Structure 1
Amino acid sequence: MKHLNKLFAAAILCAGLSAHAQDADHPWAVTVGANAVDTKISTTSNFSNRLGGYFKTGNWNILPSVSYLNVSRYLGDGFSVGVVGSVNKIEKFYKNDKQGYEVYNPGDLSYYGIDAEIKYSFKEILKSRVIDPFLLVGGGYTFMGDASTGTANGGLGLNFWFTPNIALTVQSTYKHSFDDSRTPDVDVASHMQHFAGIRFQFGGKDTDGDGILDKYDECPDVPGLAEFNGCPDTDGDGIPDHLDECPDVPGLAEFNGCPDTDGDGIPDHLDECPDVPGLAEFNGCPDTDGDGVPDHLDECPDVPGPKENKGCPWPDRDGDGVPDHLDKCPDVPGPASNNGCPEIKEEQVKQLNDYGKTILFNTGKYTFQESSYAVLDNIVRIMNEYPTAKFHIAGYTDSTGSDKINIPLSDNRANAVKVYLIEKGVDSSRLSSQGYGSANPIADNKTVKGRELNRRVEIQVKK
């Protein structure tokens, strides 16, 4: 008997560790507890006497230990089928003799029962999570001492659920014997058997052990929370991991669980500047100076500048509004219309021509008289003040002599001026020259003074 108690205790432990939910989801149930056998309740045919005798516990035979085990399987629609094993010791037996039924101590009369039963539970009908009455029918085989026989069984009981999977069970079963002379060790008397025990339900599959059955668990392989149908919420932001794009960092539902630290409406995992409010067009980075270059790429974040210059304004050394990289005269102010270079004025053109008229050549030659070098140097100075201006040097003679002589002479003299200017640093691309002989006189060739004025060099600005 001591070993049997240990067996029942082990069954309780295993059932308790396995139990998790309700019948439909966990179809197996184990009930363990104590039983009492009452042989007197069946000795009268009067129903009221039987009912009254039902509550007389003084007639019961009770073994002071765990003495029954019930294993059942839920079938559905309130029905379950089970097998019950029980042991007891009969010390109060009501036998039949000439004087009628009387109590009798048969000595060490052992009792063993093995029964099959079908139960119907009213729990679903009552819509109750606590009170669970049931009816049962079945049959079994009972041993009393040396006698044994089959019985037809019927009864009723009640489960009182403490949790969805653990209940207190009380049950009374009437076992009708078909061999009932009420003689110990000869036959088995019809009797009432009462049960009280703890019922555990189990059997559903819960792979991750989170208390949510796999068939209801959206994340059956990972322990989770009931509120998320068995899925975890690692960062505790109220968004389950399988829907959370940032499962390890608390975030906002509007960003699928990702945070927006700087509150600029761009979640951190998409924000290139997550700690500073910025603009969507720059992936969450600010553009303080509004130049279209975000601050983290802008070398001058507080001053507007073009993207081509990393957000910094182009340098303009001469302050003429034309940036140096476009300014052909970066050190001399000039209008944008002339690429940042100063435009030569009419007075400077007049001065160049005045100088040109004073250039003196040796007679019949295209070499300069000594006094002309100072004049030529003044022309160089003016041309350098307008480094992008282009000039045409025109050479003329008076009408003395023929064109055959005068045109080559005027051409050589114009070219001599050009060569001198180039030697003094004026870019050759800015200069052109040509001789026109005695054409286009500006004075009367009949006078000495007029011929002197016609022997000239004119400097024209090329547009």
Structure 2
Amino acid sequence: MKQLKVFAAALLLAGTATQAQNADQPWAITVGVNALDGGRSSVATDFADRFGQYFQTDNWSILPSASVLNVSRYLGANVSFGITGSVNKMKKVVMDADPKNNLIGSDFSGQRTLESTDLMYYGIDGQFKYSIGGLIGSKWFDPDIHVGGGYAFLGKASSGNVNGGIGVTFWFSENIGLNLSSTYKHQFEDDDMVRANDVSVPAHLQHVAGVTFRFGGKDTDGDGILDKYDECPEEAGLKQFNGCPDSDGDGIPDKDDQCPFEFGDAAMNGCPDSDGDGVPNHEDACPEEFGLKEFNGCPDTDGDGIADKDDQCPEEAGPKENNGCPWPDTDGDGVFDKDDECIDVPGPASNKGCPEVKEEHIKQLNEYGKTILFNTGKSTFQEQSFAVLDNMAKVMNQFPNAKFAIEGHTDSTGTDKINDPLSNDRANAVRDYLISKGISADRLTAEGFGSKRPIDDNKTVAGRANNRRTEIKLIK
């Protein structure tokens, strides 16, 4: 009895934890010790009296070693079925004071004595057990009732029995528990068997204390969480994440973590945000610089709508077309160089940044044109005309984008057959000279009109002199 008490106390001190469910761990093995009560329970006439000395341990027989093995299988609805084998040595048994009355068929003499004996006991039982723990909602305290039948051997005597009893299991974990049970076995004696030492197998109580191991639930990844409850059955994980791993330890299971191997923030779906700009590193084109979401986490220092990394002038606002830099205005006329046809000469936007040719400029050019002298009947210039032509070039160069038409005119002397080509050649001679002085060819046109457009009377010398002229007109 002392050994049983020590064994039970040690297990009870181990603590308690959650209750394993038979459906999850369908198989169970119990290993423990048993005590046989060969006292009052075996001889009381009234069945109720057989349990009158239930807590009196004087008559218990205990084999101080592992003496009970039970294997059980969960069937469903809180019911399981198990086979139990036990061994013991009965040290005390109640017998009739008249030894011959211990034989089968004998009458009770009215007196019984507690005798010492030394008989080996073997028992094999099959029992159905109904668990009550689930019904009362306990997670560690699991009482049960059980019924069944079996066969017992005492010395050379043996007989079958029906049995029933109660028990309780204190679960320390999902797989390990302390089981305590008491079973009453009512023996049916074999009438044809002569008992050794005039002793039959009496009805008796058998008490068991053992450690129960539950198993059989499938746990593929070995993380202690059954596959049926494991959201990640192929990966060892944590209980708080229903069996899923948290590789980076950030409190977000890998299955919900966009960056499972980098410690991150729940607000970033488990990803880090090194610069704290609200854009996770893996989406941040500038992970070490605080930036804006619209620029994938990169800054825009000058606020021109172009991220600094793509901005050639990150501290000066400028358009995207110029790579984030402001457009230059070389001549400072308010017209950007890209739109300014005269980037070195100030001019109004209305004339594309170029100075406008005014009426007085055209008048001046025509004054010069009247003084251009050609050799008679030719398109070559007299020497004094070169200075005049140079002055015309200077005026035109003030207006880099202006286009001019050069018209050649003659007096009525001679025929049109002579005058028309001559006026045309003289106009082109002026054009060629101006081109040689830096006027772009595409800004000048030349055409001769002969004597068709007189401005004075050809009947007088003065009139004919006025009609022989070179006119300059502004092409708009």
Normalising by structure 1, we get a TM-score of 0.87
Partner residue, 2:30: 31
For the structure 1 residues 458 and 35, does the alpha-carbon distance in structure 2 shift closer, same or farther, using more than 3 Å as the test? same
- Written as runs of structure 1 = structure 2, the 5 A alignment for 1:93-104 is 93-98=93-98, 100-104=111-115
SS of the residue 1:340 aligns to:
coil
Q: 1:191 aligns with which of 192, 198, 204?
A: 204
Alpha-carbon separation, structure 2, partners of 1:425 and 1:60: 133
For the structure 1 residues 155 and 407, does the alpha-carbon distance in structure 2 shift closer, same or farther, using more than 3 Å as the test? closer
**RMSD across aligned C-alpha pairs, in angstroms?**
2.7
Q: How much does 1:71 deviate? A: 1.6
SS of the residue 1:157 aligns to:
strand
Alpha-carbon separation, structure 1, partners of 2:387 and 2:333: 32
For the structure 1 residues 443 and 179, does the alpha-carbon distance in structure 2 shift closer, same or farther, using more than 3 Å as the test? same
For the structure 1 residues 349 and 152, does the alpha-carbon distance in structure 2 shift closer, same or farther, using more than 3 Å as the test? same
- Written as runs of structure 1 = structure 2, the 5 A alignment for 1:430-441 is 430-441=443-454
> Is contact 1:95-1:182 (8 Å) kept?
no
> Is contact 2:150-2:163 (8 Å) kept?
yes
Aligned AA for 1:29?
A: A
For the structure 1 residues 409 and 168, does the alpha-carbon distance in structure 2 shift closer, same or farther, using more than 3 Å as the test? closer
Does residue 106 in structure 1 map to residue 106 in structure 2? Answer: no
Partner residue, 1:122: 132
Alpha-carbon separation, structure 1, partners of 2:92 and 2:350: 129
Q: How much does 1:20 deviate? A: 8.7
For the structure 1 residues 345 and 95, does the alpha-carbon distance in structure 2 shift closer, same or farther, using more than 3 Å as the test? same
> Is contact 2:408-2:427 (8 Å) kept?
yes
- Say how many residue pairs are matched: 445
Partner residue, 2:39: 40
Partner residue, 2:150: 140
Q: How much does 1:215 deviate? A: 0.5
Q: How much does 1:303 deviate? A: 1.6
Q: 2:330 aligns with which of 301, 312, 317?
A: 317
Aligned AA for 2:151?
A: Y
Does residue 214 in structure 1 map to residue 230 in structure 2? Answer: no
Does residue 153 in structure 1 map to residue 163 in structure 2? Answer: yes
For the structure 1 residues 184 and 161, does the alpha-carbon distance in structure 2 shift closer, same or farther, using more than 3 Å as the test? farther
Partner residue, 2:367: 354
For the structure 1 residues 358 and 197, does the alpha-carbon distance in structure 2 shift closer, same or farther, using more than 3 Å as the test? same
> Is contact 2:156-2:196 (8 Å) kept?
no
For the structure 1 residues 185 and 425, does the alpha-carbon distance in structure 2 shift closer, same or farther, using more than 3 Å as the test? farther
Q: 1:171 aligns with which of 181, 184, 194?
A: 181
For the structure 1 residues 58 and 20, does the alpha-carbon distance in structure 2 shift closer, same or farther, using more than 3 Å as the test? closer
Unaligned runs of 5+ residues in structure 2 are: 1-10, 12-17, 99-108
Q: How much does 1:459 deviate? A: 1.3
Partner residue, 1:3: none
Partner residue, 1:80: 80
Q: How much does 1:250 deviate? A: 3.6
Normalising by structure 2, we get a TM-score of 0.85
Show CA shifts across 1:400-459 (max 9, x none): 444444333333322222222233332322222223333443344444433333322111
Show CA shifts across 1:100-123 (max 9, x none): 32233334x211111111122222
- Select between 166-175 and 182-191 the one with higher mean Cα deviation: 182-191
> Is contact 1:63-1:88 (8 Å) kept?
yes
Show CA shifts across 1:170-189 (max 9, x none): 22222222228875476322
Does residue 52 in structure 1 map to residue 31 in structure 2? Answer: no
Alpha-carbon separation, structure 1, partners of 2:182 and 2:408: 142
Partner residue, 1:271: 284
> Is contact 2:19-2:171 (8 Å) kept?
no
- Select between 80-89 and 175-184 the one with higher mean Cα deviation: 175-184
Does residue 233 in structure 1 map to residue 246 in structure 2? Answer: yes
Alpha-carbon separation, structure 2, partners of 1:401 and 1:166: 135
Partner residue, 1:4: none
Alpha-carbon separation, structure 2, partners of 1:450 and 1:345: 28
Aligned AA for 1:231?
A: C
Partner residue, 1:422: 435
For the structure 1 residues 427 and 393, does the alpha-carbon distance in structure 2 shift closer, same or farther, using more than 3 Å as the test? same
Unaligned runs of 5+ residues in structure 1 are: 1-11, 13-18
SS of the residue 2:464 aligns to:
helix
Show CA shifts across 1:374-407 (max 9, x none): 1111112222222322222222233444444433
For the structure 1 residues 405 and 82, does the alpha-carbon distance in structure 2 shift closer, same or farther, using more than 3 Å as the test? closer
Alpha-carbon separation, structure 2, partners of 1:321 and 1:269: 45
Aligned AA for 1:235?
A: D
> Is contact 1:147-1:185 (8 Å) kept?
no
- Written as runs of structure 1 = structure 2, the 5 A alignment for 1:239-278 is 239-278=252-291
- Select between 128-137 and 261-270 the one with higher mean Cα deviation: 261-270
> Is contact 1:299-1:312 (8 Å) kept?
yes
Partner residue, 1:384: 397
Q: How much does 1:164 deviate? A: 4.2
SS of the residue 2:410 aligns to:
coil
Q: How much does 1:264 deviate? A: 4.0
Aligned AA for 1:105?
A: S
> Is contact 1:20-1:26 (8 Å) kept?
no
- Select between 247-256 and 29-38 the one with higher mean Cα deviation: 247-256
- Select between 236-245 and 317-326 the one with higher mean Cα deviation: 317-326
- Select between 282-291 and 213-222 the one with higher mean Cα deviation: 282-291
